[in-house]
Amino acid sequence: MRLLAQFGAVALVAFAGSAVVGAAGWNVPLTLVGGFATAVLSLWVYAWVVRRTERREPVEVAVAGAAPAFGRGLLVGLGMFAAVIATIASLGGYEVLGWGSPAGAAALLGVTVAAVVTEELLFRGVLFRIVEQRIGTWAALMVSGVLFGAAHLFNDNATLWSGTAIAVEAGFLLAAAYAATRTLWLPIGVHFGWNFAQGGIFGTSVSGQDAPRGLLDGVTSGPVPLSGGGFGPEASAFSVLAGLVVTVAFLWLAKRRGNLVPPRRRSAPAATLAG
């Protein structure tokens, strides 16, 4: 019941915000305002519904400590994609044609903020966190990661491979980031840095979606294992490899900090206890 209430409340805001941002038609002021408004409202609704359904303070989205956690995640996300695109470029799969559009980058900023915050609240804040309480960290990571990848199968140019890639490099990684830190601000930062670097900086497709050029006018080419094909660099084997490496690092940190949750054991039947 908690999962449905929280997921439904945030999903409703995400749907409404997506409609508003989409209607803006890449108009920079409207897209920026709509994107940030969607993010802020989603966070408020998530905090409100957690208080109502769980009778606790939603410390995972607390304002205190949000900036440093987001900043660390941002550096991880930007660094990951920069390393991936540099590797692809070194093998001839990415080329910068020239300067892109600052206005396009600004519009992408609004779209990215809205998408990243709502997805993290839905898939890590609600789905992973609540499922983890019942079946443990490892199983919840698999369930939420696979569902996150499946959700991207409806994107343009999506394939079974691209969905699998998203599940590994994003679904597993972002759940591991939350498990290691127990704050949503770090996975929000990682997700934002990764997505905005793709479209807003390097001018590539983001999860199969074409958008206005970012700061650079970039183009990918070559076989799918190298460039990701029509889906974009997220379907590149190098993105999957980078995601696996960082996922393992976060899971190691989670174990070191004692943050891994074991599966909940069922109570033994009364007759067995009595015997």
CA atoms within 13 A on the CB side of 50: 21
pTM of this prediction?
0.93
**26: confidence class by pLDDT, cuts 50, 70, 90:** confident
CA atoms within 13 A on the CB side of 37: 13
Q: What integer is the mean pLDDT of 81-103?
A: 95
| Residues belonging to the chain | 275
**Would you say 201 and 216 are in contact if contact means Cβ atoms under 8 Å apart?**
yes
Cα-atom radius of gyration of the chain, to the nearest Å?
19
Determine which helix (DSSP H) or strand (DSSP E) holds 220, and give its type and residue range: strand 216-220
Give the helix ranges, DSSP H, for the chain: 2-23, 28-54, 66-90, 102-120, 129-151, 160-166, 173-181, 185-196, 224-227, 237-256, 270-274
Q: What is the pLDDT of residue 208?
A: 80
Residues 29-52: b if buried by 16+ CB within 10 A, e if exposed: ebbbebbbbbbebbbebbbebbee
**20: confidence class by pLDDT, cuts 50, 70, 90:** confident
Residue-wise pLDDT tens digits, 198-214 = 999 999 988 888 777 88
Q: What is the pLDDT of residue 210?
A: 75
Would you call 99 helix, strand, or coil by DSSP? strand
**7: confidence class by pLDDT, cuts 50, 70, 90:** confident
> Taking the CB of residue 185, how many other CB atoms lie within 10 A of it?
25
Give the helix ranges, DSSP H, for 91-205: 102-120, 129-151, 160-166, 173-181, 185-196
